[in-house]
A and B are shown apart, each in its own frame.
Chain A
Amino acid sequence: DIQMTQSPSSLSASVGDTVTITCRANQSIDRYLNWYQQKPGTAPKLLIYAASSLQSAVPARFLGSGSGTDFTLTIRSLQPDDFATYFCQVSYNPPWTFGQGTKVEVK
Chain B
Amino acid sequence: QVQLQESGPGLVKPSQTLSLTCTVSGASINSGPYSWSWIRQPAGKELEWIGRIRTDGTNYNPSLKSRVTISVDSSKNQFSLKLNSVTTADTAVYYCARVNFPSSHFDFWGQGTLVTVSS
| Known pairs A95-B49, A98-B47; A32 contacts B103 (CB<8 A) | yes
Across-interface contacts of A34 in B (CB, < 8 A): 103, 105-106
Report Cα–Cα, A53/B102, bound state, in Å: 13
| Known pairs A1-B62, A95-B61, A98-B46; A43 contacts B109 (CB<8 A) | yes
Pairwise interchain contact B46-A100, C-beta atoms closer than 8 A: yes
Across-interface contacts of B103 in A (CB, < 8 A): 31-32, 34, 49-50, 53, 91
> Interface size for chain A: under 10, 10 to 19, 20 to 34, or 35 or more residues?
20 to 34
Give, as a whole number of angstroms, the nearest-CB distance from B95 to chain A. 6
Across-interface contacts of B46 in A (CB, < 8 A): 87, 98-101
Give, as a whole number of angstroms, the nearest-CB distance from B86 to chain A. 20
Pairwise interchain contact B95-A94, C-beta atoms closer than 8 A: no
> Interface size for chain B: under 10, 10 to 19, 20 to 34, or 35 or more residues?
20 to 34
| Known pairs A89-B106, A91-B105; A44 contacts B111 (CB<8 A) | no
Across-interface contacts of A44 in B (CB, < 8 A): 47, 95, 106, 109
Mask of B31-66 contacts with A, CB within 8 angstroms, 1/0: 000000000000000111100100000011111000
Across-interface contacts of A89 in B (CB, < 8 A): 47, 105-106
Report Cα–Cα, A70/B49, bound state, in Å: 21
- Interface, chain B (partner A; CB < 8 A): 46-49, 52, 59-63, 95, 100, 103-107, 109-112
- Interface, chain A (partner B; CB < 8 A): 1, 31-32, 34, 36, 42-46, 49-50, 53, 55, 87, 89, 91, 94-101
Could you list 22 examples of A-B contacts with CB < 8 Å? A32-B104, A34-B105, A36-B106, A42-B112, A43-B95, A43-B110, A44-B109, A45-B109, A46-B107, A50-B103, A50-B105, A89-B106, A91-B103, A91-B104, A91-B105, A94-B49, A94-B61, A95-B49, A95-B61, A98-B47, A99-B46, A101-B46
